[in-house]
Structure 1
Amino acid sequence: MGDVPQRRVTYVVSNELAHASSLLPSNPKRSAVVHSLVKAYGLLDSTKNSNLRVVAPVAATHKDLCVYHDGDFVDALLATDASKHETDALFGLEDDCPRFPNLARYVSLVSGGTLTAAHALRDGFADVAIAWDGGRHHAQKARAAGFCYANDCILSIMALRKLGRVLYIDLDLHFADAVAAAFPFSPSSNVLVLSLHHAGPGFYPAVPSGSSSTLPLLAGASTTTFARIWNEGLELVCKAFKPDAVVVQCGADGLAGDPCNVWNWSLGGSGGMGDIVSRVLDWRIPTLLLGGGGYSSANTARAWTYLTSIALGSPLDLESHIPDHVFFPLFAPSFTLDVAPGNARDENWRNDSHQLEEIVRGLQALAGSMASRQESS
């Protein structure tokens, strides 16, 4: 058996993108922190990574955004001044999604960055494409929501459908509500949305019952929980669906140490974020990796740097020391790459909880019905 060929990786970034994305009120400077750490580890050096192509985003146009979003909403997003408009309340441009300086450029570059990555896969230039500034999964057709102004996740799925069946896996702490609503599952669907997320009274967003897309986890979810869901259910569904392209939203707000303080997930070990993404990449199917939530900029940078190294085929040592660079002080007190779990109890394993069993049984039933349909077709 010969060596497995190295994956061709496209990484989307530019100074303008990092600057625009760092202005996002919910994640100030995060983009700069992320890309600086990736660069500090030498991962963007094409002389060291011959399989890497670093490309600048092609800004999304009004027409690009209207592939999903309503035209009037796009007009409001692309208005070039930061002052309040009469339609802002109608379009959700207030509260958690306020106007901010350079909003129009932010929307164009972030959505364009994800589309640039998706097109690299669609057009055969890459096996894996990375757009860490994307992953904005709450934005609706005509309304901003949940810190998300335009839904690049949906735009990327629509672009990748040229390849055939698209599997969307969302690892964010919050339910991918707008993506699930845009692609409701049916036996003839060529898009499958699977969202691992937290759900509870008052937790954003509200989660509909009876959806095959929603896989709700209780507080303290750890690598043990993710390993069981993947091994006993999720991977079975993915294989039964037989996707031609995969989109993974790698929200980091479920990691230990995030200010959301709900899950207790970590990067390493079986069932860790790195392990889940690595298993997806092992399918050797065109894969788009997107960002998402993550409100500890340092831990989000750790996570997406580690995932970048996995995509390049040379996973970094999680015990490695953070290289000296402009944001080095943010990585105190450990100054290592790892995001280690805390001491929170994983409520998914309580004796009186049947949450895991229900999720696994539901996934197994979904996988079985998909397999039966394919056999009879």
Structure 2
Amino acid sequence: MTRRVSYFYDAEVGNYHYGQGHPMKPHRVRMTHNLVVNYGLYRKMEVFRPRLVSPTALTRFHSDDYINFLRVITPDNMQDYMRQLQRFNVGEDCPVFDGLFEFCQLYTSGSIGGAARLNEDQADIVINWAGGLHHAKKAEASGFCYVNDCVLAILELLKKHERLLEILSQVEPVPGTQIQTGQVESQLNPKEMEIDKEEDGEEAEQAEEKGDTDEEERKEHPAELAS
């Protein structure tokens, strides 16, 4: 039986930058996409550019004031929002950078859009390499994450599916790694189950070094696919 695979990707995601020396690097999503293209994997799936969800869609989990803050904060006006920066835990780990809210919309739209395709029985498997930012809390950034696309995708899936299994694979444990089931308990528990697999940091670093090498080898063959 052939599996119907939907792959969500927008070339813009690789243009966002958390800042010099920050371990979170959105350009890795572009590196992964280049591998998908150069190995011909895109021929086995439908490729979609995410349709941006509205800010209101993000408030299905996040608080209104937190989303409004993400919409207006920029590197140029940070001095005007010092109290909110502290309140919403935006700073060193979760910095303010150009296009922050658009970045959040972009990666979240792929996850919500993918969940909708599953609900509509238009796909058996959905891929969004830009997503998975599951540390974000209802009204607080955490662990390099601002908008919790995992919770929002789960809420979309729960429109049709009674039970869900979430599997997390990550480098190391940090506060808030568990999906925010406690804050949406009436909607997720006990319907959603989580399995959390942690990866050794050294192994992850070695994998990243190999990924950088692959990117250098493939720079002369740029490819961007979306439909």
Q: TM-score range by the shorter chain?
A: 0.7 to 0.9
SS in 2 for 1:95: coil
SS in 1 for 2:42: coil
Q: Which residue of 2 aligns with 1:109?
A: 106
Q: Which residue of 1 aligns with 2:204?
A: 258
Measured against aligned partners, the alpha-carbon deviations of 1:203-228 in whole angstroms (never above 9, x if no partner) come to: xxxxxxxxxxxxxxxxxxxxxxxxxx
Measured against aligned partners, the alpha-carbon deviations of 1:119-155 in whole angstroms (never above 9, x if no partner) come to: 1111111000000000001101000011111111111
Q: Unpaired segments of 5 or more residues in structure 2?
A: 222-227
8 Å contact kept, 1:33–1:297: no
Q: Which residue of 2 aligns with 1:77?
A: 70
Q: Unpaired segments of 5 or more residues in structure 1?
A: 198-252, 262-294, 303-321, 329-377
More helix by share: 2
Q: How high is the sequence identity, in percent, across the aligned residues?
A: 27
CA-atom RMSD in angstroms: 2.9
How big is the shift at 1:195?
Answer: 1.5
Which one-letter code corresponds to 2:27 in the other structure? K
How big is the shift at 1:101?
Answer: 0.8
Equivalences for residues 315-334 of structure 1 within 5 A: 325-326=218-219
Q: 2:147 aligns with which of 146, 150, 156?
A: 150
Question: Any runs of at least 4 consecutive aligned residues in structure 1 with deviations exceeding 6 A, and if so which?
Answer: none
Q: Which residue of 1 aligns with 2:224?
A: none
TM-score, structure 2 normalization: 0.80
Matched, 1:177 2:178: yes
Whole-Å separation in 1 of the counterparts to 2:144 and 2:13: 17
Q: Which residue of 1 aligns with 2:225?
A: none
8 Å contact kept, 2:117–2:123: yes
What is the number of residues matched between the two proteins? Answer: 207
Whole-Å separation in 2 of the counterparts to 1:66 and 1:301: 40
Q: Which residue of 2 aligns with 1:296?
A: 208
Which one-letter code corresponds to 2:88 in the other structure? F
Q: Which residue of 2 aligns with 1:34?
A: 32
Q: 1:10 aligns with which of 6, 9, 16?
A: 6
Q: Which residue of 1 aligns with 2:15?
A: 19
8 Å contact kept, 1:183–1:191: no
SS in 1 for 2:167: strand
Measured against aligned partners, the alpha-carbon deviations of 1:151-193 in whole angstroms (never above 9, x if no partner) come to: 11111111111222111111213343243544669xx711112
8 Å contact kept, 1:19–1:31: no
TM-score, structure 1 normalization: 0.50
Whole-Å separation in 1 of the counterparts to 2:152 and 2:212: 23
SS in 2 for 1:7: coil
Equivalences for residues 1-377 of structure 1 within 5 A: 5-20=1-16, 23-25=17-19, 26-45=24-43, 49=44, 52-79=45-72, 81-83=74-76, 84=78, 85-86=81-82, 87-162=84-159, 163-175=161-173, 176-182=177-183, 189-197=190-198, 254=200, 257-259=203-205, 296=208, 298-299=210-211, 325-326=218-219
> In 2 relative to 1, CA 301–139 (structure 1 residues): closer, same or farther, beyond 3 Å?
farther
Which one-letter code corresponds to 1:19 in the other structure? N
Question: Higher RCO, 1 or 2 (CA under 8 Å, sep at least 6)?
Answer: 2
Which one-letter code corresponds to 1:296 in the other structure? E
Q: Which residue of 2 aligns with 1:223?
A: none
How big is the shift at 1:81?
Answer: 3.2
Whole-Å separation in 2 of the counterparts to 1:113 and 1:12: 6
Measured against aligned partners, the alpha-carbon deviations of 1:219-258 in whole angstroms (never above 9, x if no partner) come to: xxxxxxxxxxxxxxxxxxxxxxxxxxxxxxxxxx647632
Measured against aligned partners, the alpha-carbon deviations of 1:28-57 in whole angstroms (never above 9, x if no partner) come to: 521221111111111113xxx2xx110111
Measured against aligned partners, the alpha-carbon deviations of 1:269-323 in whole angstroms (never above 9, x if no partner) come to: xxxxxxxxxxxxxxxxxxxxxxxxxx82744998xxxxxxxxxxxxxxxxxxx99
